[in-house]
Structure 1
């Protein structure tokens, strides 16, 4: 089955304008843009046929082409990354079996997260979309709770049933927990949703035709449109293998991610 990875990137973010071009310092002191680091993360994934950056902005196009990325220009009317992935896939001919949405704000995404995600979707024919979830340890849960207390929109959390089908996603910390564990290493009942998606081609093509859902609007989470349409979203639990993970949601996340890059000796 042929797999396409699309990195959707837009300049006009309300919380962080120009985010894809933000510079992140690595362990060697070299700075690279967020979009380049996300591109490198995508290229490290095994078993994929093609990687493209999908954008509506010439500044991002020029920066991506400068470091060697293939770019697909998409409409400014795309409401979110999933719609942008759908348009990019259609522009390329719509011939891929699976399309992976590796969002451009997740440069620390390990390659095995995406590889496990693709394998999970292949092995679950009833699912139309799959997304990874990472069980929070005390340290990660503490960071999520600290963001919420400070009024920042941090990571997204997920709850799912025994069959691993998603029940809900939220920018609040769910299920409810009063505080992080005393031990940073302690495993918790909270799962951090990793902002990567693998779609079957037919489900991705249908997505832009569905109306924007009320919950999608309230949470600002594009994957909720699938749930509001009664579609099955498979949650694939992935393992950190000692790797730190965080997404760049706000300017305040840059020092946190740079520290992680330094700890992991990523240039």
Structure 2
């Protein structure tokens, strides 16, 4: 069951234009662009047959090709990363049965998140799309709450049933807890990690489904599957002591660089 990993990257981000080309400094003092760090994360995953960057912007293409990435140009009409992945899957033919979407703003995604995700999709024959969820520690949950209190849109949280089927995803913190948590407490909130594994046949149908209200209001592409009656499998992954954070806003640059330095990531 061959696997294609796609890293969607667009320049015209509403919240952070030019985000893929933002330079992030690691523990050794070396600065690498966000798209380079995302590529490095994708290349570290085992069991992947091919890794490509998908973009509609020549600046991103040039930057990616300069460090050796394979780039597939896609339409500027793609409204999200899943549509961009669908276009890549159609262009590259039917050689790949599973397509992974490693979004280009999550360079701290550990390889085992993606490996566990692909294994989870393979193990559940009824699942058409799967995505990882990570139980928040107190620091991560308090960071989400701080973002919301200051009017920033931070990470996404997820709720799911006893079979791992998603109930809802939101940029608000769900479920509501009403308080801050202390270090070492078991938090009831799960951070949705922005990675997806799709069965190719389902992915190719996605662009033809109209966007509905939940996806439009939340700005979360995975809700389109749910609004059209397709279950999303949540695969719980373990942090193993590694901090995870995405680059959503300019303030996150310092957060990511702090994690790189604390964890010795070059």
TM-score interval, smaller chain: over 0.9
Partner residue of 1:37? 37
Take 1:217 and 1:94, find their aligned partners in 2: how far apart are those partners?
A: 30
Match of 1:9 in 2: 9
Q: Which residue of 1 aligns with 2:219?
A: 220
Tell me which residue corresponds to 2:135.
Answer: 135
Query: How many angstroms does 1:187 deviate by?
Result: 1.9
Distance 1:205 1:185 in 2: 43
Please state if 1:179 is matched with 2:170: no
Aligned to 2:189, the other structure's residue is in SS state: strand
CA contact (8 A) 1:139 1:185 kept: no
Is 1:196–2:195 an aligned residue pair?
yes
Measured in 1, the distance between the counterparts of 2:75 and 2:39 equals 21
Counterpart of 1:168 in structure 2 is 168
In structure 1, the residue matched to 2:236 is 237
1:250 — aligned with what? 249
TM-score by length of 2: 0.99
Task: Provide the C-alpha distance between the structure 2 equivalents of 1:185 and 1:219, rounded to a whole number of angstroms.
Answer: 31
| 1:262 Cα deviation from its structure 2 partner | 0.3
Q: 2: distance between equivalents of 1:12 and 1:224?
A: 22
1:142–1:179 Cα contact (<8 Å) kept: no
Give the secondary structure class of the aligned counterpart of 1:68: coil
CA offsets 1:219-267 (integer angstroms, 9 cap, x no match): 0000000000110110000000000000000011000000000011011
Shift of 1:185: 2.6
Give structure 1 stretches of 5+ with no counterpart: none
Count of aligned positions: 266
| Residue of structure 2 equivalent to 1:116 | 116
Gaps of 5+ in 2: none
TM-score by length of 1: 0.99
Distance in 2 separating the partners of 1:213 and 1:116: 30
Distance 1:184 1:106 in 2: 24
Tell me how far 1:162 sits from its aligned partner.
Answer: 0.5
Q: How far off is 1:95 after superposition?
A: 2.2
Which residue of structure 2 lines up, in the alignment, with residue 54 of structure 1?
54
SS in 2 for 1:180: coil
1:96-107 alignment, distance < 5 Å: 96-107=96-107
Is this contact kept in 2: 1:160–1:166, CA < 8 A? yes
In the TM superposition, structure 1's runs of 4+ consecutive aligned residues that sit over 2 Å from their partners are none
1:49-100 deviation digits (Å, cap 9, x = unpaired): 0000000000000000000000000000001000000001111113211000
